[in-house]
């Protein structure tokens, strides 16, 4: 049996300017791709994710990211930058807190 870890993070995201209509980040779950930026030991990586909005802080939105994978923590941790991708990059963000393993 294969056992894949689940991760849940809180993050602040901001829609990218000039990318068409802004992405809606409300309390509903949205399927998106988290594009983790390259770090010193790894290249960049994309993860399937469920994203839901929590609250708005001006041009930023606090979101919850739910991801599955064995190597998520190699790419994402508190302070790491990422982009939300829906065929193109639609928002950029930073991880603010890990909620559970």
CA dist 2 and 85 (Å) reads: 27
Q: What is the pTM of this model?
A: 0.85
**Backbone φ, ψ for residue 20 (5° rounding):** 85, -150
Confidence class for position 84, pLDDT limits 50, 70, 90: very high
Total domains in the chain come to 1
Percent of the chain residues topping a pLDDT of 90: 50
Closest of 29, 40, 34, 28 to residue 13, by C-alpha: 34
For the segment 88-99, what is each residue's pLDDT rounded down to a tens digit? 889 999 999 999
- Identify the CATH number of the domain in which residue 90 sits: 2.40.30.10
Domain ranges, residue 96: 6-100
The H or E element that residue 4 is part of is none
Region 77-86 average pLDDT: 93
User: Strand locations in 1-101, DSSP E?
Assistant: 6-15, 30-36, 45-57, 60-68, 81-85, 89-100
């Amino acid at each position: 049996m294969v056992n894949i870890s689940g991760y849940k993070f809180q993050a602040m995201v901001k829609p990218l300017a000039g990318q068409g209509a802004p992405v809606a980040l409300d309390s509903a779950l949205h399927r998106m791709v988290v594009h983790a930026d390259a770090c010193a030991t790894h290249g960049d990586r994309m993860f399937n994710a469920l994203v839901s909005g929590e609250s708005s802080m001006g041009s930023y939105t606090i979101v919850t990211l739910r991801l599955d994978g064995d190597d998520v923590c190699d790419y994402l941790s508190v302070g790491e930058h990422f982009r939300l991708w829906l065929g193109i990059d639609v928002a950029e963000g930073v991880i603010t807190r890990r909620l559970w393993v």
